[in-house]
Chains A and B, each alone.
Chain A
Amino acid sequence: MPTHAYVPHAPGYVDNDGPKIVTSRFPHEDSYTLERYEATGGYDGLRAALAKKPSEVHDDVREATVLGRGGAGFPAGVKWGFMPPGKYPYYLVVNGDESEPGTYKDRLLMERDPHQLIEGCLITCYALGLAQCFLYVRGEMALAQERIAVALNDAYAKGLVGKNILGTDFSVDITLTWGAGAYIVGEETALIESLEGNRGMPRLKPPYFPAAIGLYGQPTIVNNVETLSNLPWLMLNGPSQYKTYGSEDSPGTRMIAVSGHVNRPGVYEIEQGVTTFRDLFYSDNFCQGIREGHELKMFVPGGGSAPWFFPEQLDLPLEARPVGAAGSMLGSGAIMVMDETTDAVKAALRLVRFYARESCGKCTPCREGTTWEERVLQRILDGEGRPSDIDMLLDIADNISPGPYPNAADPSQGLEAVPFPPKQTTICPLGPSSVAPITSTIRRFRHEYEAKITKRDSIPVMAETSEGGS
């Protein structure tokens, strides 16, 4: 008896038959209340953690290989180990500034199960000896801010956050903070800048991780909302149970948002590494196929920043290593599906325009390059394109991200995959991300570009008349 269905109080989320680690309470309408949370095992993960030494909690997270769910997929337990010993205070910054095109799992987690996130924050603070936690929520997510505020107020009142948590010597404050509309603040050093009250521009690297130098110059762990939401379950059930889900390289589940031209777009919790794109798009348990009468043309497998995939990549599992080798990334777990009615140039322009608007302006190749990419694509789409424009786009792209850009294989042209990640001339990956839609579409659909190009490269020289000029 299939139970999978949309859940009216959590629009977009599909409750299906799969295992649930982070969305287990979503079917309850009141999942965001402390009452429901405590009735369903809430804060027992924290109790289990507090019964262990802090270092043992860190060991559990390391052993479970909890991969970061924000985009880069770096193991949280390893990241936690990068903090220099003894340089107190240490801070935790929770990245809830979800803004990647196509992505919206974190918003659901914050709106539907704020206590689970708070519990995950507390477990992290306990394990690492952190002085304070900052929960940074995207500015536009008013309901998420409200749900977290209420959850924190309730948790403080019951002694679950703050001084002497659950009657122990463990004390930590969690501060809810929120942004004001800037995609780049999702980059962890830009997030820290924003939290310090500055313009949200990424910091120079190295250091590559704020674990070395972060908030107020102190060691800082920046973790994604979904990553931390896994911890209460992990503490309660242990690493070996956690690893029964997913694959060896990518244990556990992750939340995937599939949007675009499928019959049942939605946010699904899936097992990592074992579910394939084909399963996700076509099976009854997930998206139930491409919309009626149409067929798959292409898809973005991991948020707007990922190089595009095509029908040949459908049988890849949703797992970082094979997807990376095939020329793209899983990123933030957002998949955008496009059928044959989609204009490749128009779709590429829309994503490029996003990067042009969101470039913070710090690095010249990105600030200038994304703007030019947008202008050239726009004129091609407007019927004002010149034959040299295709090479010009590739040249601008090469200035932001030199060398062969990651791309999927195209057997019909005898082209092999170029593995992820791209090289970059910029501090952060925003600029290189703008290249993905361009190279993906030019490589595959050059004819669509050529068909739109109507202008000549140069103005024809007028023959001189015998009477001479003026």
Chain B
Amino acid sequence: MSRFSDANLAIADDIISRYPVKKSALIPLLHLAQEQEGYVTDDAMRHIAELTDTTPAEVKGTGSFYEMFKFHPVGAYMVNVCTNLSCQLLGGEELLDHAEKTLGVKAGGTTADGMFTLEDVECIAACTEAPCLQVNYRYKLRISHDEFDEMIADLRAGKAGDIPEHGTLATIRQSIPAGMGAGIVPPEEASEAPVWLARNDSPDGES
């Protein structure tokens, strides 16, 4: 069973309600599926297709374009080491080599116990704090080889700190309180000029 759980279905409906066109919710829904299972399953993609009036092929077609979506089981912790230029200049490649030795897998591989997947990634926007990495998209900056080993030992010992399991991004979601929204409607229902633009035509700017 990897369709959305009841709780996640409610979240999915809430996400869809924030777009004028349902298909726009596709990427956030794929993230939600990955949050539930740790990766995106075929059943989840079928469910997303039902929710967004698309086909499972369209869902996979979109999802497969984006690197963050995994369509097979991966480690509980995704360790993404940056080796782009700024990090390369300050030891990013050496850090990746070290990570491969510590974890016993090559970049792209998952440890036998299913704990870690190691990736060699492109710039993660912390260039002045090189070398850097992300664990499940939480930053570790200016990290030494010893600190890397400590981090892995901590995670193995269950000391994850603020790092959630793979698939979870923001731990707090947007939520528009009832009655407070301006009203999100399909484009064809919003073809009138917004009311406040009438101020442009009044001499004192008041409408």
Q: Are A145 and B126 in contact (CB under 8 A)?
A: no
A 28-47 to B, binary, CB cutoff 8 A, 1 in contact else 0: 00000000000000000000
* Residue of A52, A145, A156 touching B176 (CB-CB under 8 A): A156
Contacts of B114 in A (CB 8 A): none
CA distance A152 to B137 in the complex (A): 22
Contacts of A265 in B (CB 8 A): 127-130
A 145-161 to B, binary, CB cutoff 8 A, 1 in contact else 0: 11011101100110100
A 206-247 to B, binary, CB cutoff 8 A, 1 in contact else 0: 000000000011100000000000000000000000000000
Q: Is B61 an interface residue when CB atoms closer than 8 A count as contact?
A: yes
**For the side of the interface on A, what is the size category?**
35 or more
Q: Are B27 and A104 in contact (CB under 8 A)?
A: no
Contacts of B122 in A (CB 8 A): 99, 101, 183, 354, 357-358
Q: Majority SS of interface residues in chain B?
A: loop
Q: Are B21 and A216 in contact (CB under 8 A)?
A: yes
- Using CB atoms, name the residue of chain B closest to A355: B122
Q: Are A199 and B61 in contact (CB under 8 A)?
A: yes
Contacts of B123 in A (CB 8 A): 99-103, 304, 354
- Using CB atoms, name the residue of chain B closest to A354: B122
Contacts of B129 in A (CB 8 A): 11-12, 265
* Residue of B84, B128, B134, B138 touching A266 (CB-CB under 8 A): B128
* Residue of B54, B68, B138, B174 touching A175 (CB-CB under 8 A): B174
Determine how close the nearest CB of chain B comes to the CB of A272; give it in whole angstroms: 20
Determine how close the nearest CB of chain A comes to the CB of B13; give it in whole angstroms: 15
Q: Is B184 an interface residue when CB atoms closer than 8 A count as contact?
A: yes
Q: Are B191 and A169 in contact (CB under 8 A)?
A: no
Given A54-B197, A179-B27, A354-B84, residue A159 in contact with residue B52 (CB < 8 A): no
Q: Are B89 and A338 in contact (CB under 8 A)?
A: yes
Contacts of B89 in A (CB 8 A): 259-261, 336, 338, 342, 347
Contacts of B177 in A (CB 8 A): 156-157
Q: Are B85 and A178 in contact (CB under 8 A)?
A: no
Q: Is B31 an interface residue when CB atoms closer than 8 A count as contact?
A: yes
CA distance A96 to B138 in the complex (A): 18
Could you say which of B105-113, B152-160, B199-207 contacts chain A? B199-207
Contacts of A178 in B (CB 8 A): 27-28, 31, 169
Contacts of B63 in A (CB 8 A): 180
Given A11-B126, A178-B27, residue A336 in contact with residue B85 (CB < 8 A): yes
The number of residue pairs between A and B whose CB atoms lie closer than 8 Å in the complex comes to: 243
Q: Are B170 and A146 in contact (CB under 8 A)?
A: yes
Q: Is B194 an interface residue when CB atoms closer than 8 A count as contact?
A: yes
B 180-207 to A, binary, CB cutoff 8 A, 1 in contact else 0: 1111100100111111110110000101
Q: Are A145 and B182 in contact (CB under 8 A)?
A: no
* Residue of A100, A163, A197 touching B26 (CB-CB under 8 A): A197
CA distance A133 to B193 in the complex (A): 16
Q: Are A163 and B183 in contact (CB under 8 A)?
A: yes
Q: Is A98 an interface residue when CB atoms closer than 8 A count as contact?
A: yes
What are 16 of the A-B contact pairs (CB < 8 Å)?
A11-B139, A12-B128, A12-B129, A129-B197, A140-B134, A156-B180, A163-B179, A173-B176, A175-B19, A177-B28, A179-B66, A180-B68, A197-B25, A197-B62, A265-B129, A360-B65
Residues in chain B within 8 A of chain A (CB atoms)? 18-21, 23-28, 30-31, 52, 54, 58, 61-63, 65-69, 80, 83-86, 88-90, 122-130, 134, 136-139, 141, 168-177, 179-184, 187, 190-197, 199-200, 205, 207
Known A-B contacts: A142-B137, A181-B67. Give 10 more (CB < 8 A): A12-B129, A132-B20, A152-B174, A153-B174, A156-B177, A175-B18, A176-B174, A199-B62, A336-B85, A351-B85
Residues in chain A within 8 A of chain B (CB atoms)? 11-12, 51-56, 86, 88-89, 98-104, 106-107, 126, 129-132, 138-143, 145-146, 148-150, 152-153, 156-157, 159, 162-163, 168-173, 175-183, 194-201, 216-218, 257-261, 265-267, 300, 304, 334, 336, 338, 342, 346-347, 350-351, 354, 357-358, 360
